[in-house]
Structure 1
């Protein structure tokens, strides 16, 4: 099969012919129909000390058609359209049985969406509604990240919400905050280039960071935000969220900053801020995202700014690492484009 292979940190991906995958016990193989590019893909191929293994096929926002089943897989069928969490576990521990294999002591990654075929963990899979497109299926993973973060905020109906960041995770957080009962929602970013998209996803308004930001955000919300969802992962944004949130408010970090990020504990203490860190998702959240898309809440489709085939993908991937202005890029491994 063809795949875009990560050779080593800092090098462009290379499209090569590699061995077709064979399912092991508890696995299935899918013919990949779409795979999204995540900021983590860009970060972990750039030499920051936590890179992917050399000569590997990455990509974790995927969906596809089941073409092979491993031993012991009896709840899936050939031809089904599925997505899956990009991890697998032992299938027997408390974490696995609760649908959260990330906490399994035997957790293994299941990435490979930048290739024509890949192995998935059958227990971590979700059968997608027939009404969904391949593009929809590849949006389930980033939407589930946003859903978990909003759920952790324990948002009350009508809550004032500020979302730091207007990338795909920030947009997903806006989408879920709106669906789960937020009052006014303000998206916040350094640049206004995604202001219209943020409003289309459910934001009431958009503000840029800079002079008078706190006053402008409070004015747009009708008061300081009860909840701040930090979705950038940039150094300094956790402290920025502490500064913006109302006394007694909630800060949820979804940004997954991988560098030391100092905060001023005395300010958080004085304001009695609750801080939570959100990681990934569970199987129920994956299923809920698929169900909501199937029910017609398809605004996330607006995030997809470009879809390319494997041959064009390495050049685009390098452009993204250099800061190209795209929101969500999808790879179609079977496209000639």
Structure 2
């Protein structure tokens, strides 16, 4: 079968053996596969990623000296079932899958291990226990967004954001846009999205941002509540204490105010979705005191930031990665039931032979977000199939 191989940072379309499903596995005909920002980074930084994953105790990750196939955001049709697979996965059923694959050597990350080739290919293996039939006639374009949208759902849940908090999303690539979609769906009233690209700012507006900001012209933090100057914070504290100390019962009043959360200035919840060296330090420099910063951008190289900035501002710093199986399932149903609208995120569809040039184009994206791969483009289809575009719905067996 045809697949896009990555070897020494070079992408090329090659022929690889068609895999066969082991017990509990599905062989899927790939219908759509998203190009992830982590794939773009991993092409050039795969050895750094492998080193980091090894430190986390994750084995069998790819390296630059061995060819492997990207692709962990996919929707496919069941072509073959391994032994012990439930009958609900009927041939032709469209499914989405958690990107993990087991063999006798352990569990591998699909698309980041030579032992688990990803869905930049005509076919891909998936574990039935981690696969879900696409419900409600959801289009394959949107179904393929389940994985990145699950990443965003996990980040939003970990943020503990409330509807009245101000959200600041730094970076309007696919992860940032997906977070905006979930924030909108959860009813967050103020969503500030920041990106230097006019095209991506417009996409953020379409996804639900209430204010979009060009960070080269204006600070995204200017529209958020909070104190940004230490001198201002100390003056506020001294003035408040001068007023309180005039009251004979100021101590119990202070304790009540603490319990009500009124003794610290209001602060935004910031989602860092860029993942390039220097960005985290930039956020810590500009964020108001007591901000909650959720780091969703994946920086694969070594980075430096000044801990004193986070310490002095008492910033709550949270790092997030991936999602739970339940969050993956919930995301699929939120999309299928129309509770989360991600249609604006899909900005293009390419065939396997277009992937190398698309990677180059996405180095400096201006109006692109999620580009999908359709392996059928440029080759005859194996069977008749209904083409779909973002926002449409299609009916197939098992859908």
Q: TM-score, normalised by structure 1?
A: 0.86
Deviation at 1:274, TM superposition (A): 1.1
Confirm whether residue 157 of structure 1 aligns to residue 163 of structure 2. Answer: yes
4+ runs deviating over 6 angstroms: none
> Hey, what's the Cα distance between the residues in 1 that align with 2:67 and 2:366?
25
Cross-structure match for 2:39:
41
1:255-334 residue pairs with structure 2 within 5 A? Answer: 255-297=297-339, 299-321=341-363, 326-334=368-376
Cross-structure match for 1:21:
19
Deviation at 1:9, TM superposition (A): 2.0
Deviation at 1:323, TM superposition (A): 5.3
Deviation at 1:269, TM superposition (A): 1.8
Distance 1:35 1:199, change over 3 A: same
1:1-337 residue pairs with structure 2 within 5 A? Answer: 1-6=1-6, 8-11=7-10, 13-47=11-45, 49=47, 50=49, 52-53=62-63, 54-74=66-86, 76-88=89-101, 106-111=106-111, 112-210=118-216, 213=219, 216-218=222-224, 225-297=267-339, 299-321=341-363, 326-336=368-378
Unaligned runs of 5+ in 1: 91-104
Deviation at 1:213, TM superposition (A): 1.3
Deviation at 1:30, TM superposition (A): 0.6
Moved more, 162-171 or 310-319: 310-319
Deviation at 1:238, TM superposition (A): 1.6
> Hey, what's the Cα distance between the residues in 1 that align with 2:220 and 2:266?
8
CA contact (8 A) 1:88 1:124 kept: no
CA contact (8 A) 2:181 2:340 kept: no
Deviation per CA, 1:66-101, whole angstroms, max 9, x where unpaired?
A: 1111122225333221111111469xxxxxxxxxxx
How large is the Cα RMSD of the aligned pairs? Answer: 2.5
Q: TM-score, normalised by structure 2?
A: 0.74
Distance 1:248 1:68, change over 3 A: same
Deviation at 1:214, TM superposition (A): 5.6
CA contact (8 A) 2:288 2:313 kept: yes
Distance 1:78 1:212, change over 3 A: closer
**Helix, strand or coil at the partner of 2:352:** coil
Cross-structure match for 2:392:
none
> Hey, what's the Cα distance between the residues in 2 that align with 1:10 and 1:62?
22
Deviation per CA, 1:262-306, whole angstroms, max 9, x where unpaired?
A: 222222122221111100111111111111111124631211111
Q: Name the larger-Rg structure.
A: 2
Question: How many aligned residue pairs are there?
Answer: 319
> Hey, what's the Cα distance between the residues in 1 that align with 2:216 and 2:361?
27
Cross-structure match for 2:252:
none
Deviation at 1:114, TM superposition (A): 1.0
Deviation per CA, 1:88-131, whole angstroms, max 9, x where unpaired?
A: 469xxxxxxxxxxxxxx943122321111110112221221142
> Hey, what's the Cα distance between the residues in 2 that align with 1:88 and 1:295?
28
Deviation per CA, 1:200-242, whole angstroms, max 9, x where unpaired?
A: 11111111224651663338xxx97520001110122222332
Moved more, 23-32 or 189-198: 189-198
